């Protein structure tokens, strides 16, 4: 080791002293100054602490330019030796202090970088990747909310406006104004949850969105073209096709000269717009106290496209909801003249729609908050 080192020193020294003997003191001093300047430049340009370590060995180590200059001292007169020796020591001291300053700077940069890396990011973003590479998703709207939004968009595009009404209703709005006087047998179609408010059985959780029709017609003169989505409640035991808390969307059109053909055409146009081309609707006679005539409407089974499958029991059709022409008794309850105006209404379950559209076997999973299910939509 030391042999190699002394060989290289010797050859370097000969650069300075040359074959003709000792170079001038002035030149040695110039070399000291040049070594210092180059050293300072090298330190200033070091981008990382690792680079700084390498520069330290090169500038101050045994093979450094300054160390080599030191070996030339022995050939000088004692006076010049003192002079050049002092210059070498000064240059060394300057480089050592420049090195310390640069190290402090780079340490500060490293610390800032580490702090930045460890920082908790509390800002929202759709998708983040953890330092270990795990992709993390922000939550999204529930399938039922997505379906409701899509339904609203579809109806708005068809020219409907969107209205809402209260979930706690009086008997009048949920039943009586809809042509179901007290003790009317048709009330049995809805298993009602009553609230302990006022006289017994006068305030309830709405069993359908049809009471919003009444609010709308009380507050707004025809023409009316509106859809009314919202939460409904029934005293049902949850099972694969029923939830005690569910969602409906109601449609109401009141204008001059509205016919059953307009109802059928609207349902058909909606079916195509919502489910896509090739999907159709059909009406089958039914009964609701607030519409006359009344119908149930069915749409092409979204699972099999009409070929017949388990979901549609082989028929190719899925029942979606009820509809009909607004009963004159309902117009009478809200003070609209049935001689001047006619209209139609329809209503269906949003959760049920999502269920058939996505082939969900059991509706109860909609309320389970199981991410393995929820994140599929």
* Chain residues in the site for ligand PHE (CB under 6 A): 208, 210, 250, 288, 291, 321-324, 345-347
Q: Which is nearer to ligand PHE, 275 or 288 (CB)?
A: 288
- Nearest distance, CB of residue 349 and ligand PHE, angstroms: 8
| Closest to ligand PHE by CB, 39 or 321 | 321
> Rounded to an integer, what distance in angstroms lies between the CA atom of residue 118 and that of residue 110?
12
CA of 362: how far to CAs of 21, 194, 271, 310, 366, in Å? 101, 27, 24, 14, 8
Quote the least distance from Cβ 325 to ligand PHE, whole Å: 9
CB of 326 to ligand PHE, least distance (A): 8
Least distance (Å) between residue 321 CB and ligand PHE: 6
Hey, what are 1's tokens?
């080791």
Nearer to ligand PHE, 68 or 213 (CB): 213
Give the CA dihedral 359, 361, 362, 366, nearest 10 degrees: -30
CB 234 within 8 A of CB 190: yes
The β-bridge partners of 252 are 226, 345
DSSP summary character for residue 242: B
Q: Residue 233 or residue 317: which is nearer to ligand PHE going by CB?
A: 233
> Phi then psi for 371, rounded to 5 degrees?
-60, -30
Identity of the residue, 35 or 288, whose beta carbon is nearer to ligand PHE in the bound complex: 288
Is 346:263 a contact under the CB 8 Å cutoff? yes
When the beta carbons of 229 and 306 are compared against ligand PHE, the nearer one is 229
Compare residues 88 and 326 and give the one whose CB is closer to ligand PHE.
326
User: What is the DSSP secondary structure assignment for residue 158, as one 8-state letter?
Assistant: T
Q: CB 251 → ligand PHE: shortest distance, Å?
A: 7
- Work out the number of other CB atoms within 10 angstroms of the CB of residue 32: 23
Taking the complex as a whole, the smallest distance from the CB of residue 314 to ligand PHE amounts, in Å, to 25
CA of residue 142 relative to chain centroid, distance: 12
The partner residues of 267 in beta bridges, in order of sequence, read: none
Cβ 178 to ligand PHE shortest distance, Å: 8
Residue 306: count of CB within 10 angstroms of its CB: 18
CB of 174 to ligand PHE, least distance (A): 10
Nearer to ligand PHE, 39 or 211 (CB): 211
Residues 6+ apart with CB under 8 A from 21: 75
DSSP state of 130: -
Token pair of 246, please?
Answer: 């569910």
């Amino acid at each position: 080791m030391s042999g190699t080192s002394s060989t290289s020193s010797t050859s370097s020294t000969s650069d300075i002293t040359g074959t003709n003997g000792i170079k001038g003191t002035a030149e040695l001093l110039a070399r000291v100054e040049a070594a210092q300047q180059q050293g300072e430049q090298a330190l200033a340009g070091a981008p990382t602490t690792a680079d700084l370590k390498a520069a330290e060995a090169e500038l101050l180590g045994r093979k450094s330019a300054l160390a080599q200059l030191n070996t030339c001292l022995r050939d000088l007169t004692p006076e010049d030796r003192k002079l050049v020796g002092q210059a070498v020591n000064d240059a060394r001291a300057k480089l050592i202090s420049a090195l310390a300053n640069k190290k402090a700077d780079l340490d500060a940069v490293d610390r800032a970088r580490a702090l930045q890396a460890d920082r908790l990011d509390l800002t929202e973003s759709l998708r983040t990747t953890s330092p270990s590479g795990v992709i993390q998703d922000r939550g999204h709207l529930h399938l039922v909310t997505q379906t409701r939004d899509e339904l609203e968009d579809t109806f708005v595009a068809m020219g409907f406006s969107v209205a809402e009404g209260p979930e706690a209703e009086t008997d009048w709005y949920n039943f009586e104004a809809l042509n179901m006087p007290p003790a009317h047998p048709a009330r049995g179609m809805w298993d009602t949850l009553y609230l302990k408010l006022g006289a017994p059985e006068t305030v309830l959780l709405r069993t359908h969105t049809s009471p919003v029709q009444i609010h709308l017609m009380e507050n707004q003169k025809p023409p009316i073209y509106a859809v009314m989505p919202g939460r409904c409640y029934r005293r049902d035991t949850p099972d694969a096709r029923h939830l005690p808390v569910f969602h409906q969307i109601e449609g109401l059109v009141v204008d001059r000269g509205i016919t059953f053909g307009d109802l059928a055409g609207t349902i058909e146009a909606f079916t195509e717009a919502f489910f896509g081309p090739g999907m159709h609707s059909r009406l089958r006679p039914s009964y609701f106290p607030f519409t006359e005539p009344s119908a149930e409407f069915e749409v092409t089974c979204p699972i099999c496209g009409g070929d017949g499958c388990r979901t549609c029991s082989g028929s190719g059709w899925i029942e979606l909801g009820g509809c009909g022409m607004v009963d004159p008794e309902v117009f009478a309850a809200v003070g609209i003249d049935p001689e001047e105006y006619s209209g139609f209404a329809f209503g269906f379950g949003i959760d049920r729609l999502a269920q058939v559209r996505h082939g969900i076997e059991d509706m109860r999973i909609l309320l389970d908050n199981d991410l393995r299910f929820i994140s599929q939509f």
